[in-house]
Amino acid sequence: MSTTIKRVLLGLVIGLLIMQFFQIDKTQPPSDPENDFIERLAPPDEVATVLKRSCYDCHSYKTKYPWYTSIAPISWWIGHHIEEGRKHLNFSEWGKYTQKQQQHKLEECGEEVERNKMPLASYLWVHGEAKLSEAQATLLINWFKEKENTF
């Protein structure tokens, strides 16, 4: 192995080691349980189970951080996904949305599931259990539409 290749590899290893000192914030912000989507809308158990398994990791303050979220730069990518997910829809803060926002978000939820855009394909790579069966997707879509029409 040439000296140049050894130096490049050493530089990469050192770079990866330094990255480990810059971890994502895994703190779950405090939230009032009364603002939680499931608490407020009381979906049927089957819907609640699917939401918790397939949506809550990125769209609530109930994120479960697996071991690989401690390894940079993977952790940075996942942290960004969670940050973006919560920014667009946060089930833990549901009660803080206006009625109009809630209605719009329910509509978007149904559309995203219907278009197979949620859960994200990249999330499903390592969370296969979150994949929605056709029946589960239909269940969510119908429930979101039903709830959306109650506003």
Question: Mean pLDDT over residues 9-33, rounded?
Answer: 92
Q: Which residues contact 144 (CB under 8 A, 6 or more apart)?
A: 106, 107, 109, 110, 113
Local confidence band at 26 (pLDDT 50, 70, 90 cut-offs): very high
Q: What is the pLDDT of residues 93-143, one digit of tens each?
A: 999 999 999 999 999 999 999 999 999 998 898 888 999 999 999 999 999
Residue 133 DSSP one-character state = P
User: What CA–CA distance (Å, rounded) separates 25 from 111?
Assistant: 30
Question: Mean pLDDT over residues 69-82, rounded?
Answer: 93
Q: What is the pLDDT of residues 40-55, one digit of tens each?
A: 999 999 999 999 999 9
CB 74 within 8 A of CB 20: no
CB 70 within 8 A of CB 23: yes
Answering whether pTM is above 0.75, one says: yes
CB 109 within 8 A of CB 147: no
Local confidence band at 2 (pLDDT 50, 70, 90 cut-offs): confident
